[in-house]
Amino acid sequence: MTGSGEGPPGGGGSTGSLLRAMIRRDPEEEHRVATPLELLFDLCFVVAIAQAGTRLEHAVVEGHAAHGIVGYAMIFFAVWWAWMNFTWFASAYDTDDVPYRLTTLLQIAGVLILAAGVPRAFDRSDYSIVVVGYVVMRLALTTQWLRAARAERGAARTTALRYAFGVVLVQIGWVAFGFVPHHQMKAWVFLLLAAAELAVPVLAERPSATAWHPHHIAERYGLFTLIVLGETVAAATVAVQRALDRGGSTELLPIAAGGLLLVFSAYWTYFVVPIHEHLRGGRSAFLWGYGHYLVFATAAAIGAGLQVAIAHVAGDAHIGTATAAASVTVPAAGFVFFTWLLHARHFKRSLGQQAVLPLTALAILACTFAGSWAVLCAGAAAALSVAVSLSLGHRIGGSEGVRDMR
């Protein structure tokens, strides 16, 4: 995923020209930031994420957690993969001309189609609308790769053509997926097609890798993390509202407080890491980029879990206390662990620093057995980990050590 090239005339990110040659942008370009179109792209994706989270909550509340988790994982993969492919492509080839903007808007339309099909996919295992929306997004991106292939020469052109051919080939498989009759069979076919999707960039990037901007990629991933954490903020807000409507129920307020502590701690844990410097070498870009599926999916699932916990307290859930607690503690622990594994561990300089987040993940899991106080317990554990990390960083190297340690 590394490389170099000439950026488009005028910097390629602000004028919206009628037509430009889609040549590679300079990966060392100064002041490269997310564009308004990219921000709109992210905001529209939150619709699909919210739909998937809501259906996950309903499935768990009704006692069908396994079915809900499988459906959530499949839907979230479609959303994440389409988002990720656009993000890396845009970092390399964003020309901001009219065809580029129109094609990006078409991808946004695709994710809205996908979001409309989420309830049907969960309730009836009918993924036809989801597949239509997904294929729209992927074929729209294919046209962008073909544009890049037309403007490039040599190995870069070969890479672009490999992307286009690989994406189209896998989309034929997704269309066939829509006709698979049995739900269990769909899960196995999905795994096969997902593996094929993941293989396309790995194969296409050899021998010539695509240019991308480390700081821009880090910012784009950070913005998407904010979106999925926003689902948790919304759930915590609902908890506060329901607590007030019930006259300040003491059972609901700990969920609200714990949810806020979780999202504040998640923000702190993720965003203090200057990850773009680590990505600049490019050696871990695939692992970091692919692994964020787990970071994003667990972050969004925390919000669904909070809604489950609220429904349990309100008497609207057909599940036990431990299941309601686990719906929050399991994704919260997952977020902490995967953030450490992919993100934070690269900047920790001692065994004590490395141990903080993995031990925090275990502590959050242990909070599952705290009954009605499980969410608040999990939030307190997450907040404590931030305080411990700050303390360790300060003792090692002052303010500079705090920044580097995290």
Confidence class for position 46, pLDDT limits 50, 70, 90: confident
pLDDT for the residue 13: 43
For residue range 279-330, list pLDDT tens digits in order: 765 557 788 889 999 999 999 999 999 989 988 887 878 899 999 999 999 9
Domain boundaries, the chain: 9-20+33-204, 214-405
pLDDT confidence of 112, banded at 50, 70, 90?
very high
Which amino acid would we find at residue 170? Answer: V
C-alpha to C-alpha distance for 22 and 214, rounded to whole angstroms: 20
The reported pLDDT for the residue numbered 2 is 37
Which of the four pLDDT bands, split at 50, 70 and 90, describes residue 276? low
- pLDDT at residue 372, rounded to an integer: 87
Tell me: pLDDT of 248 over 60: no
Residue 122 tokens read as 């969960």
Residue 246 has pLDDT above 50, yes or no: yes
Q: Give 246's Cβ-side CA count (13 Å radius).
A: 16
What SS3 state is found at 18? coil
> Which pLDDT score, from 0 to 100, does residue 282 have?
55
Single-letter code of the amino acid located at 262: L
pLDDT at 397 over 70: no
CA dihedral 100, 106, 108, 110 (to 10 degrees): -140
Distance CA 207, CA 164 (A): 16
**pLDDT at position 26, please?**
83
Indicate the average pLDDT of the chain.
Answer: 85
- Residue 72 CA, distance from chain mean position: 13
Backbone dihedral region for residue 76 (phi beyond 0: left; psi -120 to 50: alpha; all else: beta): alpha
Is the pLDDT at 157 greater than 50? The verdict is yes
- Tens digit of pLDDT for each residue in 167-222? 999 999 999 997 887 777 888 899 999 999 999 999 998 877 788 888 899 899 99
Give the mean pLDDT of 99-104.
Answer: 95
Check whether 405 has a pLDDT greater than 80: no
Residue 81, both tokens: 């993969």
The CA–CA distances, whole Å, from 158 to 26, 148, 152, 154, 163 equal: 19, 10, 9, 7, 9
Amino acid at 139: L
Lowest mean pLDDT among 103-107, 115-119, 184-188, 366-370: 184-188
